[in-house]
Structure 1
Amino acid sequence: MSSSEATAAEDKRLRKTSISDEVVIEFDDVTKTYNLYKNDRGRFLGIFNYNRKGSFLGSVDACKNLSFSVKKGEAVAFLGRNGAGKSTTLKMVTGVAHPTSGTVKVKGRVSALLELTAGFDMQLTGRENIALRGQIMGLKRAEIKELEPGIIEFAELGLYIDQPMRTYSSGMKARLGFAFAVAIEPEILVVDEALSVGDRAFQRKCIERIREIMMDETVTVLFVTHASSTAQEFCSRGIVLDHGQKVFDGSINDATDYYEKNY
């Protein structure tokens, strides 16, 4: 077997080979606008449509007239420079942000490896926060109890799991957040390649776990990256964003070629 054939065989092994016709994510003419203010007071008054002179700086469209659909089992890379709208798009998939106009439809349980420590109560213990997050996601008490040992083992927090999270370092909080996110058997996985959790040994364990989930043929993956080689390794499709707009949508090789030539 030649080197090129070996590379192709390896790519096929890493990428998903089975994609359903069922659409699980759909963006229809979505625009997300952020109003910018000079200070927090102006931002607060803006909630009530009262704009004190000089406090309102203007509006920015993080996403503009964005439309695309993703089928069950697809692994899609979102490519773009900083400020292209990638994070805002994924936040709308996870429900953290909502469109200013247009519609976003998501079908399935979403696990996001983005802001790992968001939603934790610093006064509760790590174990109590596992239960809290599970309840927020709609898991039953029995399901949470079943997942808890694996989460604790993966996070490697030892006795700290029963200490208040205000005593945790930032790395410990992120490890618990990651461990929970990868334990819930997501139907849709949202991954930020820039994610960095713990020391090198723990990072390797995280990457391997992400790889395992991504290769599940029933899991839909949205992957944000700046590295074309990483996108080509895992994904079969690429969407290039620029200033909140979709400028290219196609096979991962064509998408990375477009991105590298234009950005």
Structure 2
Amino acid sequence: MSGIHVEDLSIKFRIYHDRSPSLKESFANIFKRNGQSAYSEFWAVKNLSFDIKAGDRVGIVGHNGAGKSTLLKALCRVYESSEGIVSVDGRIAPLLEIGAGFHPEFTGRENIYLNGSILGYSRQQLKKIEPEVIAFAELQEFIDTPVKYYSTGMYMRLAFTLATAMHPDILVLDEIFAGGDAAFMAKAQSRMHDLIDKANIMIMVSHDHLLVKSLCNRVLWLDHGRLIADGSPDEVIEQYVAGKNE
């Protein structure tokens, strides 16, 4: 049975003070800063602990920079923890940065195989789902065009359709409904409801509170990397909105 255990998770990043220094300049600055560090550190998430069990549909809310996307990337192993434990039991389908795994010079069809392999699909699996992906994404005319010529909407349709083509144990979503034309959005939401129904666990970040309430049975509120509240969607979102308006 799928499950997620997070214990005292902390993730630290560095902020460099020199704007895009070259390697030569960075090396020279080692000797010029009179012992001062060329960067400062901050904790994107700090001491997070929670468990997610099979059947949970968890929404994550918080202001921009609260650590929401960092947490999702830690669950998907994009980021390693600086401290603490992240234990995931089950196959994850991450919908994080739309089209991030696409190669701009490759066609849509070629990117199905490239991005699909990154998502962990075999070539045989991808060959089986290829026609359905192309049809659902409405890209029949453009599938053999390099994706560098795609609009943002076309990118989103292809990436979303590919990432949702198979039913994972754990579905992780980051603002997946943030763009796209209305007709495709309605179709995508219907597909998402079906996928969520079949997933053992769903975790999503969204600023759309109505969407969170409609899809989730539990909400985590993050602020400056820390867990402020964990409970029912109505209660936690009400607390979050009240806190924002204070």
TM-score range, shorter chain: 0.7 to 0.9
Distance change >3 Å, CA 133–CA 83, structure 1 → 2:
same
Residue number among 137, 145, 153 corresponding to 1:171 in the alignment: 153
For structure 2, list consecutive stretches of 5 or more residues without a partner in the other structure.
Answer: none
> In the alignment, what sits opposite 1:96?
78
Distance, in Å, in 2 between the alignment partners of 1:214 and 1:51 is: 54
Distance, in Å, in 2 between the alignment partners of 1:120 and 1:230 is: 28
SS at match of 1:98: coil
> In the alignment, what sits opposite 1:234?
215
> In the alignment, what sits opposite 1:243?
224
Letter aligned with residue 254 of structure 1: E
Number of residue-to-residue matches in the alignment: 240
Question: How does 1:139-154 map onto structure 2 within 5 Å?
Answer: 139-154=121-136
Q: Is the 8 A contact 2:93 2:119 kept in 1?
A: no
Letter aligned with residue 68 of structure 1: F
**Matching of residue 257 in structure 1 with residue 238 in structure 2:** yes
Distance, in Å, in 2 between the alignment partners of 1:140 and 1:213 is: 20
For structure 1, list consecutive stretches of 5 or more residues without a partner in the other structure.
Answer: 1-21
Distance change >3 Å, CA 95–CA 154, structure 1 → 2:
same
Q: Is the 8 A contact 1:45 1:51 kept in 2?
A: no
Letter aligned with residue 36 of structure 1: I
> Deviations 1:112-144 (Å, cap 9, x if unpaired)?
232111011112111111111222233222111
> In the alignment, what sits opposite 1:29?
8
Q: Is the 8 A contact 1:42 1:51 kept in 2?
A: no
Letter aligned with residue 215 of structure 1: D
Distance, in Å, in 1 between the alignment partners of 2:119 and 2:176 is: 25
Decide which moves more: 244-253 or 184-193.
Answer: 184-193
SS at match of 2:106: coil
Decide which moves more: 84-93 or 108-117.
Answer: 108-117
Q: Quote how far apart the aligned CAs of 1:45 are.
A: 8.3
Q: Quote how far apart the aligned CAs of 1:175 are.
A: 1.4
SS at match of 2:78: coil
Distance change >3 Å, CA 138–CA 227, structure 1 → 2:
closer
If the length of structure 2 is used for normalisation, what is the TM-score? 0.87
Distance, in Å, in 1 between the alignment partners of 2:5 and 2:26 is: 30
Q: Quote how far apart the aligned CAs of 1:208 are.
A: 1.6
> Deviations 1:72-124 (Å, cap 9, x if unpaired)?
22101111111111111111112222211112122222222321110111121
> In the alignment, what sits opposite 1:7?
none
Question: How does 1:103-252 map onto structure 2 within 5 Å?
Answer: 103-193=85-175, 195-216=177-198, 218-252=199-233
Q: Quote how far apart the aligned CAs of 1:260 are.
A: 2.5
Letter aligned with residue 148 of structure 1: E
Letter aligned with residue 165 of structure 1: V
The alignment yields a C-alpha RMSD, in angstroms, of: 2.5
Q: Is the 8 A contact 1:66 1:245 kept in 2?
A: yes
Distance, in Å, in 1 between the alignment partners of 2:168 and 2:111 is: 19
Distance, in Å, in 2 between the alignment partners of 1:235 and 1:56 is: 43
Distance, in Å, in 1 between the alignment partners of 2:116 and 2:219 is: 32
